[in-house]
Structure 1
Amino acid sequence: MPLNPWITLFSFLAIILPLLNPFVAFAVNQQGEALLLWKQSLNGPTEALSNWNPTDETPCGWLGITCNINKEVVELELRYLSLYGTVPTNLSSLVSLTKVVLSSTNLTGSVPREIAILHELNYLDLSDNALIGEIPSEICNLLKLQEIYLDSNQLEGSIPVQIGNLTSLKWLTLYDNQLNGEIPNTIGNLKNLQVIRVGKNKNLKGLIPREIRNCTELTQLGLAETSVSGQIPLEICNLLKLQEINFFSSQLEGSIPAQIGNLTSLKWLTLNDNQLNGEIPNTIGNLKNLQVIRVGQNKNLGGLIPREIGNCTELTILGLAKTSVWGFLPPSLGHLKKLKTIFAYTTLLSGQIPPELGDCTALQDIYLQNNSLTGSIPKEISGCRNLTYLLLNSNLINGKVPGELSHLVSLHFVNFSDNLIEGTLPFPVLPLHMVFFSISSNNFSGEIPSSICNLNFIKYLDFSHNHFSMIPPCLGNMSDYLIDLDLGNNNFQGTIPKFVKCNNLRSLKLTGNQLEGPMPHSLVNCKKLEILDFANNKVNDTFPHWLVNLPELQVLSLRSNNFHGSIGNHKTKFSFPNLRIIDLSHNMFHGHLPSNFFKYLTAMMNGNMDEGGLQYMGDDYYYDSVTIDIKGNYINVEKIQTLLTIIDISNNSFKGEIPKVIGNLGLLKGLNFSHNNLMGHIPISFRNLTNLECLDLSSNKLTGNIPIQLTDLTSLEILNLSKNHLVGLIPQGKQFNTFTSASYSGNLGLCGFPLTKTCGNDEGQQPPPAPTIQEDDFGFANGFHWKVVLLGYGCGFMFGLCMGYLVFSSEKPKYLLNIVYGEQRNKVRRLKNNAHGRIN
């Protein structure tokens, strides 16, 4: 009787399987041993791998391990762990791996070439580590690879030309490394490629290879922050599945091709910060799925904004900032019901803001500052219920602000400064969550409504350069969040309000009003105050010694008021450790200058030299564009260094000798003691003021010689010692050879160059006259002409430019504090722009 074949098979298996078992078990154990060896090599805490137990028969139950039905390890996936080791290289027993993910695990070392033995691998993610070295070309032999993620490491070298071998590849992300060279044209072999992101490799250069036209499955193309150059190849416009193009901050030039309109699947188009020119093609209207368009920071990109953009009804972000687009904002923008943000600042736009913009009901951010927009603010904007940022500053907008804007309860940030807007403050109720509100440099008038005091979260408030007449008494009790309050250059009258809630106030400016009475002692509550400007008012008080309770004070301007009396004596305790700019000029102070006043100005001494690069006043809370008014000449200074240190006590009635301790203020840039009754000699200790650029001791009663040691002041650009009782030979050499006779006029006892009066035996020994400087350039009687400070012997051009008129003028209508915060014309021009400037 023949045997049943099934019985025969089962009998065979019953015999052979026990013999095979040890070999299967041995293979599984090898995989576990390889993983445990890698675990032991890690330098960081391995608690996350605590269930990697060597007593287990198989690693298939371990964290991050996935096995197939044959108990072979096919996936190793560990993310967001602090492993602190290298990528495993002992992979010979793990050849069944199809997926390796070790992202964000603090790995170092290089990408191991041993990965090339994993022939089944189709997914490799080593992103967000600290890997170095080159991308090994051996990886390009893994023909099953579909996804490679090596981004956010420190990889160097070029993209291997062999990348074209990976014909199964769909995702290739190499961004945020240090790759160089060019994108290989073999990229065109990857016909299944859907995503390529190689941006943020600044040394990656060359042209975009035209062979990319073969990548017909491509949906994302990212080359941002590279040095890729040339024109946008027309071949890209044939990749009809493209959804995202990101060429931000590269070196592309030429025009945006009209064929871009072929990419009807496109959702993101980011071309900002390149060198593009021409116009925005009207074919942009074909992109019905477009959500984001950013073409800003291409200064030569001009033309009109195409009205066809109204067809892009999915658009949420429109970025045109810092281009040369001109003409009107098209009314068709009103069709964009999903639009959230408009970046169109610093362009050549003109005309009125279209009322149709109010139809964009989802609009949250409007950035239209620094243009030439005219007309009034349309009341229809109140239809943008979610509006948070409204920046219209630095335009030619006129008329009145519509009261309907008070209905926009979500408004946080409003800047209407530097326009031609008139009328009273229109908001019966300001949105309670307002953080920034500036209407400076307009034609507003009337009273500031007391409702302003309900802004409990306000941080920046600027009403300067208007015609307001009354400060509400509640202003000093409005918000503990308030950082910057500027009420300068209005017609405010009455007394200065008391300040109660001012725990975070850093800058208080009341300059250029008609305020009277004493300084409010309540300012001692403002412990973080850094800038205090009461200049050009009618404040009647003695010197406020209690300001020593403000330890952060950096700028103090009491200029042109009715302050009187002495500023203290040798027993008075002064402590202004951070004070850098002091302006007490044009008051009625008298008495001696106490040495103690200058002794503790430690921020002006060499020992406090700022380190670690330039620092600026207000770096962490305001970003001003500073305008300096020098006899009608406006000069823009971006921000003011903390090393700008100035003392001005001119036009008072101080008497006695100049304290020698001033020579310790080694960081001092400007010193003006003119128009007082100071006596005695010029201190020899002034030789230590090696950073001094401007020195004015004119119109006093100083005697003796001009110390020869002052020739050591090689930074000195402007010197005025006129109208004193100085005698002897004028020192020669270095900077002193550049000063004209105007610096010494009115000192009958002085002789020598540049005066015509000789000193006995010095004829024929006069140094040559200073080139190009003319005596008429100075004009001390009416203040310096600003052009003189372009000349000189040494450094300090910017400061000299600012100080030529400001320090020495007897008129000084704007003066010193313009240097620190100027006309405040473009308050926070960059405050929000900085946050978005890189993406619009």
Structure 2
Amino acid sequence: MWFSGKIREKAMPFLGVAVVLLLSLASPASSCTEQERGALLGFLGGLMPGGNGGLKVSWVNGTDCCKWEGIVCSSDGTVTDVLLASKGLRGVISSSLGDLAGLKRLNLSHNWLEGSLLTELVFSRSIIVLDVSFNRLDGHLQELQSPNPALPLQVLNISSNLFTGHFPSTAWGAMKNLVALNASNNSFTGQMPSSICTNAPSFAMLDLSYNQFSGTISLGLGSRSMLKVLKVGHNSLSGALPVELFNATTLEQLSLPNNFLQGVLDGSHIAKLSNLTVLNLGSTGLSGKIPDSVGQLKRLEELYLDNNNMSGELPSALGNCSNLRYITIRNNSFIGDLSTVNFTMLDLRIADFSMNLFTGPIPESIYSCSNLVALRLAYNNFHGHFSPRIGNLRSLSFFSITNNSFKNITNALQMLKSCKNLTSLLIGINFKGETIPQDETIDGFENLQVLTIDDCSLVGKIPLWISKLAKLKMIDLSVNQLSGPIPSWIDELGFLFYLDISSNNLTGNIAVSLTKLPMLLSEENVAKLDPKFLELPVFWTPSRQYRMVSAFPRMLFLDNNNFTGTIPPEISQLKLLDGLNLSSNSLTGEIPQEICNLTNLQMLDLSNNQLTGAVPSALNDLHFLSTFDVSNNRLEGPVPTGGQFHTFSNSSYSGNPKLCGPMLNLDCTSAATNQTSTSRRHNLRFALIIGITSGGLVALALLACFLIARLAYYDHTENVVPLRSRQR
């Protein structure tokens, strides 16, 4: 009874509110004015036919515009909000919206609107929030001729458009109510506006990133007492970090990456920013050490110092940043043992220490970071064996130790199989000269999608345990000393679309099972690929990085082995293949005509084999082909013309003396004539040799007969003369 009574007590106020709401809904509401209706219809009229996002269905003249899609009115019928984000709108923004005297919030973001940003909206006497981000607006922003400090605008988002020119400062400096300004991802040039929001006491957020600003960072930003977010990365700013900037002690996010700054990170200055949660100074050109005072940033969650010229050992105080979740100091010159930092107290999720000069083993304390999702230690001087404690990293999905000096690959794989969530495992350029384990007990990698064990000089055969990696999409075993044939089970890897087994000692024919890889057969199979982003970008080449596994090209690298036999015509089944490299083997026979069916092919390398016959003319139908090489074979006849073939250099065909065509400056008709005359000369020379040889043999035979006859005569004389002497 007590419980039910309590329910009744709480229900009575709620029922009262509900009754009031029902009564208010039942009472007749005021409708918008004719002027407001006309202003909205004027906006609709400025949109392109078919680009109104279906607004014409509800935006009908003569009806109450307060009931139109995307329109919000106050209780007295005044239009206060026009919310039309992501409607697919195309056309221009009509100036008629400036006639909505009571408009407070205008959101036209994520559309295809063009033209300029109207001053009637930016300098409106009513609008508080204006968002036109992610459109195609262009031109210069205009200065306000007569600045009015009473303008109510608080939030302005013009990001991700096509604006150009200098950023006006006078107008924005006059806006006392401005709280947030986002002009990122445009093409603004010139100096950063120096007087921006100087008179706005509540100004808290400025994002000018991804533009073309130059010069130095505005000194006045340090005087903004409420500034919490400052982002001016990906510009062309230069000079040192201004000391004044560190007076903005309320800063929570300081992001200046990809500029041309100089100097060091001063410890006394950085300690002032005790409220920082994000510090991004990556790719800025900073040098020097990480100061010990970084340990005073107790609220710090993300630290980006990658791609700089920093050096020295990591400060042990870094272990005091207990909220640190993301750290990347990739591509610097840091030295020493990572064990100087106690990672036990950190809540790390992503850590990238790659491309430095760290030494020693993997620090034991990092195994306490049970929430660690991605750890990259690649391109350092780490060494030793893996600890059994690595199994504590139960959330680990991305792990890269490429190019270090680790040993005992069998032990490493046995330890790592405890990390059940691993999807990317990059362990190449380690374990030099060891034997690749064939042990079937190496299992547990049921979620693995990317596996690289390249350039380790490993010996042995491609192991059977790889066939159990049911989700494997990419495998790189290149630059080892693996032997034996391509395993017949390779097509059982149902998600595999990238295979690199180049530069080994593999033998046998090109396995037909390779031509049955499901992910290279049809788009229907590709749709099954997981579109998830990688936890860290994979830097496949110095200039190319990937954030999704599915974004990698579909490739087969079988070059620099000892494969023999012919290219199987079944290769034509791999409709989705982007690249095929069979170079530097001992393949024979002709280039199969079926290879011309690989219409997605961008790279084809068949060089340094013993292929014969013609280059199939239908290869000129491969419109995406950008790399082609058949050099150093025994091919003959005309080289295909048209299509992409006019872009390939002569070196693509060198070492095939019987090939001809315009790109080789060898006319095929004259080549054939020369070949025929050469053949006739060869035949005549052969006939002369035969004739002379035969004549010589006949002469030798006659001479032999003469000598034999003469010897017989002398022999007869010796026998006859004495007889005659006796007769006398």
TM-score, length-scaled by structure 1: 0.65
Write the distance in 2 (CA, Å) between the matches of 1:659 and 1:682: 9
Tell me how far 1:455 sits from its aligned partner: 1.9
Query: Which of these residues, 410, 414, 436, is aligned with residue 518 of structure 1?
Result: 436
Write the distance in 2 (CA, Å) between the matches of 1:690 and 1:213: 55
Matches within 5 A, 1:199-238: 199-200=108-109, 203=113, 206=116, 208-209=118-119, 215=125, 220-225=128-133, 227=137, 230-234=140-144, 237-238=147-148
Tell me how far 1:698 sits from its aligned partner: 3.2
Q: Is the 8 A contact 2:58 2:69 kept in 1?
A: no
Write the distance in 2 (CA, Å) between the matches of 1:693 and 1:228: 36
Query: Which of these residues, 573, 579, 599, is aligned with residue 670 of structure 1?
Result: 579
Matched, 1:451 2:361: no
Write the distance in 2 (CA, Å) between the matches of 1:616 and 1:607: 10
Write the distance in 1 (CA, Å) between the matches of 2:660 and 2:212: 59
Q: Is the 8 A contact 1:276 1:300 kept in 2?
A: yes
Cα gap change, 1:471 to 1:730, in 2 (>3 Å): farther
Q: Is the 8 A contact 2:533 2:547 kept in 1?
A: no
Q: C-alpha offsets along residues 59-89 of structure 1, whole Å, 9 cap, x if unaligned?
A: x98956558xxxxx5x218xxxxxxxxxxxx
Write the distance in 1 (CA, Å) between the matches of 2:138 and 2:671: 72
Matched, 1:245 2:155: yes
Aligned to 2:179: 267
Q: Is the 8 A contact 1:610 1:643 kept in 2?
A: no
Write the distance in 2 (CA, Å) between the matches of 1:348 and 1:591: 54
Write the distance in 1 (CA, Å) between the matches of 2:139 and 2:667: 67
Cα gap change, 1:651 to 1:231, in 2 (>3 Å): closer
Aligned to 2:25: 76
Matches within 5 A, 1:359-758: 359-425=272-338, 426-474=340-388, 477-496=391-410, 497=412, 498=414, 499-515=416-432, 516-519=434-437, 524-568=443-487, 574-595=491-512, 597-606=513-522, 608=524, 619-622=532-535, 624=537, 626=539, 628=541, 634=543, 642=551, 644-704=553-613, 706=615, 710=619, 713=622, 715-724=624-633, 726=634, 728-730=636-638, 732-734=640-642, 742-746=651-655, 754=664
Write the distance in 2 (CA, Å) between the matches of 1:713 and 1:228: 39
Structure 1 SS opposite 2:443: helix
Aligned to 2:208: 296
Structure 2 SS opposite 1:524: coil
Aligned to 1:37: none
Q: C-alpha offsets along residues 287-332 of structure 1, whole Å, 9 cap, x if unaligned?
A: 4733423131362333333333332222221222333333222233
Cα gap change, 1:237 to 1:549, in 2 (>3 Å): farther
Q: C-alpha offsets along residues 635-674 of structure 1, whole Å, 9 cap, x if unaligned?
A: 6788786472222222222233333322321222322222
Greater C-alpha radius of gyration: 2
Cα gap change, 1:729 to 1:586, in 2 (>3 Å): same
Matched, 1:334 2:221: no
Aligned to 1:70: none
Write the distance in 2 (CA, Å) between the matches of 1:445 and 1:543: 31
Q: Is the 8 A contact 1:151 1:173 kept in 2?
A: no
Write the distance in 1 (CA, Å) between the matches of 2:151 and 2:651: 76
Aligned amino acid, residue 423 of structure 2: R
Aligned amino acid, residue 518 of structure 2: T
Aligned amino acid, residue 358 of structure 1: A
Aligned to 2:83: 175
Q: C-alpha offsets along residues 101-125 of structure 1, whole Å, 9 cap, x if unaligned?
A: xxxxxxxxxx999xxxxxxxxxxxx
Q: Is the 8 A contact 1:623 1:639 kept in 2?
A: no
Tell me how far 1:388 sits from its aligned partner: 0.4
Structure 2 SS opposite 1:691: coil
Tell me how far 1:387 sits from its aligned partner: 0.6
Q: C-alpha offsets along residues 683-740 of structure 1, whole Å, 9 cap, x if unaligned?
A: 343232233333333333444555555555454444433444x365345444567666
Aligned amino acid, residue 676 of structure 1: N
Paired-residue identity, %: 22
Tell me how far 1:430 sits from its aligned partner: 4.7
Q: Is the 8 A contact 2:197 2:203 kept in 1?
A: no
Write the distance in 1 (CA, Å) between the matches of 2:361 and 2:548: 32
Write the distance in 2 (CA, Å) between the matches of 1:138 and 1:338: 49
Aligned to 1:21: none
Question: Which 5+ residue runs of structure 1 have no aligned equivalent?
Answer: 1-59, 68-72, 78-93, 101-110, 114-128, 141-147, 156-162, 766-840
Matched, 1:353 2:302: no
Structure 2 SS opposite 1:76: helix
Tell me how far 1:432 sits from its aligned partner: 4.3
Aligned amino acid, residue 293 of structure 2: E
Write the distance in 2 (CA, Å) between the matches of 1:136 and 1:384: 59
Aligned amino acid, residue 570 of structure 2: V
Aligned to 2:708: none
Aligned amino acid, residue 224 of structure 1: V
Tell me how far 1:406 sits from its aligned partner: 0.8
Structure 2 SS opposite 1:313: coil
Tell me how far 1:557 sits from its aligned partner: 1.0
The structure carrying a bigger helix percent of its residues is 2
Q: C-alpha offsets along residues 203-224 of structure 1, whole Å, 9 cap, x if unaligned?
A: 3855544698783xx5824243
Question: Which 5+ residue runs of structure 2 have no aligned equivalent?
Answer: 1-14, 39-53, 676-728
Q: C-alpha offsets along residues 114-149 of structure 1, whole Å, 9 cap, x if unaligned?
A: xxxxxxxxxxxxxxx989543858869xxxxxxx79
Q: Is the 8 A contact 1:151 1:174 kept in 2?
A: no
Cα gap change, 1:219 to 1:476, in 2 (>3 Å): same
Aligned amino acid, residue 434 of structure 1: L
Q: C-alpha offsets along residues 135-166 of structure 1, whole Å, 9 cap, x if unaligned?
A: 858869xxxxxxx797846x9xxxxxxx9xx9
Q: C-alpha offsets along residues 407-456 of structure 1, whole Å, 9 cap, x if unaligned?
A: 11111111111223222224232544211100222222332212222221
Write the distance in 1 (CA, Å) between the matches of 2:624 and 2:208: 42
Q: Is the 8 A contact 2:209 2:231 kept in 1?
A: no
Q: C-alpha offsets along residues 547-583 of structure 1, whole Å, 9 cap, x if unaligned?
A: 22222212111111121223346xx574122222211
Structure 1 SS opposite 2:324: coil
Write the distance in 2 (CA, Å) between the matches of 1:149 and 1:351: 59
Aligned to 2:59: 134
Q: Is the 8 A contact 2:115 2:138 kept in 1?
A: yes
Q: Is the 8 A contact 1:730 1:752 kept in 2?
A: yes
Tell me how far 1:534 sits from its aligned partner: 0.8
Cα gap change, 1:670 to 1:254, in 2 (>3 Å): closer
Aligned amino acid, residue 239 of structure 1: P
Cα gap change, 1:220 to 1:720, in 2 (>3 Å): closer
Matches within 5 A, 1:52-91: 63=18, 75-76=24-25
Cα gap change, 1:254 to 1:466, in 2 (>3 Å): same
